[in-house]
Amino acid sequence: MDLLLKGLDIKGGYELQEAYVDAVSNVSLELHRNEVFGIAGESGCGKSTLIKILYGYIEPPLTLRNGLIELYTNDGNTLEISSLSPDKLRKTIWWRLVSYIPQNAMNVLNPTIRIRDHFAEMYREHIGLEKSESYSKAQKYIETFGLPNDVLAAFPHQLSGGMRQRVVIAISLLLEPNLVLADEPSSALDVINQRAALTFLKNAQENLGNTLVLVSHDMSIQGVLTDRMALMYAGKMIEVGETQEILENPLHPYTKALTRSLPRLGDKAQRRGLRGQPPDLRNPPQGCRFYPRCPSPQPICQKEEPKISETQRDHYVSCWLV
Amino acid sequence: MSEFLLEAKNVSKFFGYGFLGRVKFPAVDNVSFHMESHPKILTLAGESGCGKTTLARILLGFLEPNEGTVLYKGKSVHHLKRKEKKWFRREVQAIFQDPYGTFNPLRSLDGYLYGTAKNLLGMSREEASARIEEVLSFVGLLTKDVLGKNPDEFSGGQVQRISVARALLPEPRLILADEPVSMIDASLRMNVLNMFKELTEKQGISFIYITHDLATAYYISDEIAIMYRGMIVEEGPADEVLLGQHHPYTKALVSSLPEPGKREKWLKEEVNPPGMEVKEFLAANCKYADICPDKSDKCLKERPALLDVGNVKVACWLYE
């Protein structure tokens, strides 16, 4: 498999005055070229923190305590993201090699300048293009995405949320990065706009043949968009594998509970939620972090943390039961 | 005495818009529906900006409509006498989207629970304690874990269960729940929705469930009304509306639901997201005509009324 990025033993969290919040704890992962990789899990599981760390966007109180992140470029170089300075990241990595679409991205556009000037700024900053030249380039660029032409002359507030979201996605892909990290890119949108934004992102990924990491708590979205996915719970990666395999044959009890609690049209069978709450990550439990909520806990689960290991081909789980 | 529990008749609410607010913007546009006395769950579904929350505020009596009336057990909720107001607030309770927004974070929960018991029910401290214990245990919480604490000491799911408990205190007949689970994690969402089902079946409480999420709507509701730009475009039994999909907008909504089983279709089929909101709200013809794949000349000229198609009502000229 052609490797694009490798993260080894990543441990990062929030250094607060009174405590340390262990948001991402000993997570390792590999991203392949030309794939859509999903990261799922519920609020506070560490999925957003993880992709911030992968992007190298580490600002206090977020700190990286341990871990190695390597990006393998197309020309055969290895870049160690986890040890680069913010200046170096900004100049050589961000936008060119790795793009990051933060949550609520549709609100990141500058309300005082027109959309075309957002493009012009990117062209000037990174390629050194003149304004007039960048306008005509931007025009051609958004046409390839099938976005209407009059979008360029508009101010952000004149566009609908769904359109703004697609503009932000288009800007993030402008320099054809190898890796796009998208954090809940559709959670603020309605179903129809959500579908438009996500298929837009997926088509762009197919055209560029790059790698898309999609953070979404919604298992149905993971199911229609991603090739492989990882599930996180309380800062740990608990299951990784091919998306279809995970949805059809989940192994971790938490993944099982999540997939079983999904309501579907045409199916009125009783759904059950989980009991209890995720643990407080200022003081995470010893042993398995899911233990207090697990429907079938064993004595060992309380004492010792299960390692994540390959149970079937390309299907990794961290659970003592498996 | 009306035979209906709740009835909305031609309700409209306009907001001023444009220069000096001279353009009247219909956030809720000529909406009529009713709920029978028999306990059931009715869903008002639609996307953001369809007017569902404005309609909810009108039904609760918080907001007065510019046109039309809302009758609760035959009485107009906007013209209640003083005594009737108190009765209405006991009978009809609300649960909102942001559970933290329901409670002041600096005030302990005791105040809310005892306050509701005292103000609405005139209970003594002892009577209130017993009733509070009862409703908290129904939502799966222990009194000793809740009282004396502030809302910020609980997770979102727990606070939402406490707000359900608070709504249950006065033994309401109808609960209006506006996006009650959209801020709760998926693994806990079903617990709250199952609670609504149980309350309807065992305690005879009717629910109006307001949501954008059609999958949960299908799961819990008996009836559903789909709203678009302030209007009801399709209503009827939940199965028949969501599986039959008569209105082109209902079809667009349902086909956009991500379902792992239909990955190829979901990714490849063309989607047509709603366009200019303001223009569509103000349109005198069918508000969906601009982006409707099945439109005809008539749709551009005239607005369709709700037409009967079997058990379902649809506002679309296709069914004329």
Residue in chain B closest to A188 (alpha carbons) equals B48
Check CB contact under 8 Å for A224 and B214: no
A–B CB contacts, 8 A cutoff, strictly below: 124
Q: Inter-chain contact A266–B243, Cβ cutoff 8 Å?
A: yes
Q: Element (H or E) spanning A244, and its range?
A: helix A243-248
Q: What pLDDT shows up at residue A1?
A: 65
Residues 6+ positions from B4 with CB-CB distance below 8 Å:
B34, B35, B36, B37, B71, B74
The sheet with strand B223-228 has its strands ordered as B92-95, B174-178, B206-211, B41-45, B223-228, B231-237, B312-314, B307-309
For residues A81 and A54, what is the distance between their CA atoms, to the nearest angstrom?
A: 8
Copy the structure tokens of residue A222.
């993971």
For residue B238, give the 3-state DSSP assignment: helix
Shortest distance between the Cα of B12 and any Cα of chain A, in A, equals 24
CB contact under 8 A, A190 and B243: no
CA distance B140 to A93: 50
Contact A294, A253 (CB under 8 A): yes
Minimal Cα distance from B190: which residue of A?
A: A273
User: Cβ(B32)–Cβ(B71) under 8 Å?
Assistant: no
Cβ of A220 and B260 within 8 Å? Answer: yes
* Contact criterion met (CB below 8 Å) for A163 and A151: yes
Helix (H, G, I), strand (E, B), or coil: what is residue A185? coil
Interfacial residues of A (vs B; Cβ cutoff 8 Å): 42-43, 160, 162, 190-196, 198-199, 202, 217-225, 243-244, 247, 254, 257-258, 261-266, 268, 270-274, 277-278
Write the residue in B188, B261, B267 that is nearest to A202 by C-beta: B267
Residue B319 has pLDDT above 60, yes or no: yes
Query: A224 and B267 in contact (C-beta within 8 Å)?
Result: yes
Note the pLDDT of residue B224. Answer: 98
pLDDT at B99: 81
Name which of B234, B267, B231, B232 is nearest B251 in CA terms: B234
Query: What rounded mean pLDDT belongs to chain B?
Result: 91
How far apart are alpha carbons A313 and B174 in whole angstroms? 53
Dihedral (CA of A173, A175, A179, A182) sign: negative
- Quick check: A191 and B277 CB within 8 A? no
Predicted confidence band at B178 (pLDDT cuts at 50, 70, 90)?
A: very high
Residues in chain A with CB shorter than 8 Å from the CB of B216 are: 263
Cβ neighbours of residue B285 closer than 8 Å, sequence gap 6 or more: B299, B300, B301, B302, B303
Q: Which ipTM was obtained for this model?
A: 0.88
- Specify the pLDDT at position B22: 79
Residue A306 phi/psi, 5-degree rounding, is -75, 140
DSSP state of A267: B
| Max CA separation in chain B (angstroms) | 67
Integer CA distances (angstroms), A231 to A102, A154, A240, B218, in order:
19, 39, 6, 27
CA dist A84 → A3, A4, A52, A58, A208 (Å): 20, 17, 14, 11, 26
Cβ–Cβ of B190/A224 closer than 8 Å?
no
The dihedral through the CA atoms of A154, A160, A163, A165 has a sign that is positive
Of A194, A217, A272, the CB nearest to B186: A217
Reading chain A (322 residues) residue by residue, the pLDDT tens digits are: 699 999 999 999 999 998 999 999 999 999 999 999 999 998 889 999 999 999 999 999 999 999 999 999 999 999 999 999 999 999 999 999 999 998 888 888 999 999 999 999 999 999 899 999 999 999 999 988 888 888 999 999 888 888 899 899 999 999 999 999 999 998 878 899 899 999 999 999 999 999 999 999 999 999 999 999 999 999 999 999 999 999 999 999 999 999 998 899 999 999 998 888 889 899 999 999 999 999 999 999 999 999 999 998 899 999 999 8
B139 at the A interface (CB within 8 A)?
Answer: no
Q: How far apart are CA B186 and CA B177, in angstroms?
A: 18
Tell me whether residues B260 and A190 touch, CB distance under 8 A. Answer: no
- Report pLDDT for B19: 75
Are A277 and B157 a contacting pair at CB < 8 A? yes
CB-closest option in A193, A199, A217 to B267: A199
Q: Is B186 on the interface with A (CB under 8 A)?
A: yes
- Residue B74: strand, helix, or coil: coil
- Report yes or no: B15 at the A interface, CB cutoff 8 Å: no
Length of chain A: 322
pLDDT of residue A275: 85
